[in-house]
Amino acid sequence: MTDTQTKTKRKTSKKTAAGRPAPRARRAGKKMPGLQEVAIAALEDMKAVNVKVIDVRKLTDVVDTMIIATGNSDRHVKSIAGLVVEKCKQAGFQPMGVEGERDGEWVLVDLQDVLVHVMLPRIREFYGLEKLWDARPPQREIALA
């Protein structure tokens, strides 16, 4: 064999106008799912209950979205949070941290722009995060005298 026969052919890929390879989503012709969609899909896969997505961009600069979900038992809560972390890593999103996995009553998954709270029903009811982070202004009745 000669040197030219042993050399492998370079793979050719489509290039953008700037000469860089096109993103994978464009090459495949599909839209890549966002972080929020990946987290919600993982919650649905594990049968999380009462999933609520809250946009908190107008309330805080720390995070854009909070996702609150309920698990049926401490083991279920841990499993839900574990799958959220796993699916996000597979999609290319690195979680900042996970808190509360040991007890399993309330697990917080910090995904930078998205916070995922997975709780037992009694913990969710006690803390009432939906009421705390709801962006709608409270309605007040004016007493007419």
Asked whether residue 89 is domain-assigned, the answer is: yes
Asked whether residue 86 is domain-assigned, the answer is: yes
pLDDT at 112: 87
Asked whether residue 24 is domain-assigned, the answer is: no
Owning domain of residue 101: 33-133
First and final C-alpha spacing in the chain:
102
Asked whether residue 15 is domain-assigned, the answer is: no
What the block records as the tokens of 63 is: 């995070």
Asked whether residue 26 is domain-assigned, the answer is: no
Return the CATH number at 51.
Answer: 3.30.460.10
Asked whether residue 12 is domain-assigned, the answer is: no
Task: Spell out the per-residue pLDDT of the chain, length 145, in tens.
Answer: 554 444 444 444 444 444 444 444 333 444 456 888 889 999 999 999 999 998 888 888 888 889 999 999 999 999 999 999 999 999 888 899 999 888 888 999 999 889 999 999 999 999 888 888 875 655 665 666 5
- Note the pTM of the prediction, 2 decimals: 0.70
Q: Is the dihedral of CA 112, 115, 118, 123 positive or negative?
A: positive
Integer Cα distance of 15 and 5 in angstroms: 27
pLDDT at 120: 93
Total structural domains within the chain? 1
Asked whether residue 69 is domain-assigned, the answer is: yes
Asked whether residue 6 is domain-assigned, the answer is: no
